[in-house]
Each structure stands twice: as structure tokens, then as C-alpha cells.
């Protein structure tokens, strides 16, 4: 077999509730404040949960007027993040072989929120007033296709819809495309725009979300005894993945290296994780094996940590299973208490956070964790974060349908 190529992160672009651009998001992490608040995008009064992590975002600050008009919020998020990531990477696409640059994206709901909006137009005003862009915005694949069209990149292109693991899986797929020489550069990530009344309501109906409406900033409480569900968020994150020697030769800034990826399925339940965490553990083991990294070499885990009663102890169980005695030495945090759970975008946001954390030697905390629940007994980084030089980090993502995904990142050098 030919030697596998090394893959590095050379660009980061994000649209998140705690900051737009990688640097703004990093500043938001260090500020240590949650962006969760009462919902303003629609009237949530019919629901038990009335809070979310919304983004103050004007697409015209980042996109041409004609693109703003043709894209829904979901598309605006992902194209903005992709452009920011390419700019951050210092790529001159005019001088590149566009056939060797591709895009892989992930999303749980795609443009469903826009479809919901347009259905109301159809119902109240008739078909002639429905947006002509409905068909091209509503499908999930619009994410990677809009990036390809905006940037003119003609390499491998796909968007997966594997719920809350989809952003991580998109980056994992992009990693493989570069590693196995199908592309030299991949623009990868996840996007989600679920803050519309019915999309939000779908999760409210199954009682998956926190009802701590009187204290929004403390509502997302990963691993805490008093957690009562996740808090929905929105946004996107995109990373530029590049073959190492190519990145090095052009003098690119390297944030971190992606060195392992794996995914699998619980085959258990559409909304509940397999209680023993065995398949979640299998995904983590597979990523470590792919990376040729021993469990005891990992210093940090960015946990899925959704703040739901079922996920958090199950994920902790999986981490114990994989890392054994080393689990007590791992530094662990969930960053969702900052920006909510943006479904398919979350794993991409957290991959970007891992890359920045490895580069800068600071690990973000798990906000709002004051009393770890029974079965949640790892070294969860406290509320101020922690300065720590870590060689390897693992990013976990788990989603509806029993999907499990994990990435291994290495500090650049």
C-alpha cells in the first residue's frame, strides 16, 4: 500500500452564537459566558422550552447581495463559513487546480426551516408568492454544492445528513479524501438553521430540551446532576483540510493535524444511545487505531456532552471503556453550554475548537457544571478553562439513529 498522506487544518471559518470568525469564537470561549437566551426568532410561548442560542448575523456583511437573496439562512451560514475558512487559510483559488479541491458538509435538517417558512407563504398567499429558490435551498446537499459554486471548486463533493454527528463525519470524509489522494484540499464542516417554530417544536414534542427558561445562561449543563435536556443552537463551522507537504511548502499556518477517524452505529434506538456505550466506544477506538495513537497518548477529549440525561453518563461509560486507567488522567470538556447544540454543525464547531486548543495550549471548560451526576466521574475542566499543552485530542459526536463518530487531532509540529 502507498504511504498515507498527512492531513492538516490550515483554515477555520465559523458563524456561532459566541463569535463569527475563528478568532471571535476563541475570544468567546475565553470569556466564559453562555450565549443562550430567550428565543426572539419566533414566539415560543406554546412550548415548555423557550430558550436557544441565537446568532446576531447580517449576511450582507459577508456575502454579495445577489447571494444573500438566493440563499436561505442555512445556505448563508455555510457559504459565509467556507469563505472565512478559505480566507483564513490564505488560499488563492484563482491559482489552484480546482479539480483537486472539494467540499464535504454535514447537516441534520438542511433547509427544512426555510421550507417551513415558505409553506406558510404558500398557505396564506398562494403558490405564486413562494420563493423560486425553495427547491434549491431545501435539500441538505445544497450545503456542499453552494460552497462549490461560490468558490468554483470541482473536486469530491457531498453532504451527509447524519443528525448530530454529521459535521464530524463530513470532516472525517474530507480527511480521507486528502489522505487517500483523491484531493489536495477539502473544505469541510457542518451547518444548521433549526430555529423556526416547527423545527424547534419537533424537539420540544419529544421533551429533549431544557425548560430552564428563567435562567437561560445556566440551562445547558453537561454532566451536571441537575441537567434537564439540551439547548438548541444554530450556526456553522468550516475547516480547510490540506495535504501536509503542500501546506508546508506554501508557508500555510497549520493549526493541527487530523490523523484518525471512525464511525459506526448502535443499531439500538432512534433517539436513545445504547446504554452500555459499546458502539460509541468502538467509534473512539476505531479513530485511535486509524491514527496509530495509543489511548494513553490522548490528553484531551471534547465530549459530545449534550446535557441530556441519557447521553452524558453513556458517553462517560464509553470513555472509561476505551481509556481504562488512563481515563482518570484525561482532561474532558463539553463546550455546548457556550453555544447550545447546533445539531449537525456542533461536531464541526468542536473540531475547530480542538484545533485551536491544541495550537494555543488552552482547554475550554464545561460551563455550568457544579455537581457531576452519578456515572459522570471524569476530570471535567472547571469553569475558567485550563492552560495545558496536549499532544492529541479526541472529538466525539453522537446523534439520532444511533450514529457515533470520532476524530483524533494532533498538535502541529
Which of the residues are catalytic?
Answer: 164, 304, 341
Contact 188, 348 (CB under 8 A): yes
Dihedral sign (CA 55, 58, 238, 74): positive
Strand, coil or helix: what is 411? Answer: strand
* Angle of helix 311-323 versus helix 278-291 axis, rounded to 10: 50
d(CA 116, CA 157): 27
Q: b/e map of 318-330 (b: 16 or more CB within 10 Å)?
A: bbbbbbeebbeeb
Backbone phi, psi, residue 285, to 5°: -60, -40
d(CA 216, CA 232): 11
d(CA 178, CA 6): 8
Residues in the chain, total? 413
Strand 185-192 to 235-243 pairing: antiparallel
d(CA 392, CA 222): 22
Q: b/e map of 185-224 (b: 16 or more CB within 10 Å)?
A: bbbbbbbbbbbbbbbbbebbeeebbbebeeebbbbbbbbb
Strand 185-192 to 101-106 pairing: parallel
d(CA 308, CA 319): 17
Longest CA–CA span in the chain (Å) reads 64
Residue labelled with grid coordinates 497549520? 254
Amino acid at each position: 500500500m502507498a504511504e498515507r498522506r498527512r492531513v492538516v487544518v490550515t483554515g477555520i471559518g465559523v458563524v456561532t452564537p459566541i463569535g463569527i470568525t475563528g478568532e471571535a469564537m476563541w475570544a468567546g470561549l475565553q470569556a466564559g459566558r453562555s450565549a443562550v437566551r430567550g428565543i426572539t426568532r419566533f414566539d415560543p410561548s406554546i412550548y415548555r422550552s423557550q430558550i436557544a442560542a441565537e446568532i446576531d448575523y447580517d449576511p450582507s456583511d459577508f456575502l454579495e447581495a445577489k447571494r444573500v437573496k438566493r440563499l436561505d439562512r442555512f445556505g448563508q451560514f455555510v457559504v459565509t463559513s467556507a469563505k472565512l475558512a478559505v480566507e483564513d487559510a490564505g488560499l488563492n483559488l484563482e491559482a489552484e487546480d480546482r479539480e483537486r479541491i472539494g467540499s464535504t458538509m454535514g447537516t441534520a435538517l438542511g433547509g427544512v426551516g426555510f421550507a417551513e417558512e415558505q409553506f406558510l407563504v404558500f398557505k396564506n398567499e398562494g403558490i405564486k408568492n413562494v420563493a423560486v429558490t425553495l427547491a434549491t435551498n431545501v435539500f441538505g446537499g445544497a450545503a456542499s454544492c453552494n460552497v462549490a459554486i461560490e468558490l468554483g471548486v470541482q473536486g469530491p463533493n457531498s453532504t451527509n445528513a447524519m443528525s448530530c454527528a454529521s459535521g464530524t463525519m463530513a470532516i472525517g470524509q474530507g480527511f480521507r479524501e486528502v489522505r487517500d489522494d483523491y484531493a489536495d484540499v477539502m473544505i469541510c464542516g457542518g451547518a444548521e438553521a433549526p430555529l423556526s417554530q416547527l423545527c424547534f417544536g419537533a424537539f420540544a414534542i419529544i421533551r429533549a430540551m431544557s425548560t430552564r427558561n428563567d435562567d437561560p445562561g445556566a440551562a445547558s449543563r453537561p454532566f451536571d446532576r441537575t441537567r434537564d435536556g439540551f439547548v438548541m443552537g444554530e450556526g456553522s463551522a468550516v475547516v480547510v483540510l490540506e495535504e501536509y507537504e503542500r501546506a508546508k511548502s506554501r508557508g500555510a499556518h497549520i493549526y493541527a493535524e487530523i490523523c484518525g477517524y471512525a464511525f459506526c452505529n448502535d443499531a439500538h434506538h432512534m433517539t436513545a444511545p445504547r446504554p452500555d456505550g459499546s458502539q460509541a466506544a468502538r467509534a473512539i477506538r476505531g479513530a485511535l487505531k486509524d491514527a496509530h495513537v495509543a489511548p494513553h497518548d490522548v490528553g484531551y477529549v471534547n465530549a459530545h456532552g449534550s446535557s441530556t440525561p441519557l447521553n452524558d453518563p453513556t458517553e462517560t461509560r464509553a470513555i472509561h471503556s476505551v481509556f481504562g486507567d488512563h481515563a482518570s488522567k484525561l482532561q474532558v470538556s463539553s463546550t455546548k453550554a457556550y453555544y447550545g447544540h447546533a445539531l449537525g454543525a456542533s461536531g464541526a464547531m468542536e473540531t475547530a475548537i480542538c484545533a485551536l486548543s491544541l495550537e494555543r495550549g488552552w482547554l475550554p471548560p464545561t460551563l455550568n457544571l457544579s455537581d457531576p451526576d452519578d456515572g459522570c466521574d471524569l476530570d471535567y475542566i472547571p469553569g475558567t478553562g485550563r492552560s495545558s499543552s496536549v499532544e492529541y485530542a479526541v472529538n466525539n459526536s453522537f446523534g439520532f439513529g444511533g450514529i457515533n463518530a470520532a476524530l483524533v487531532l494532533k498538535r502541529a509540529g
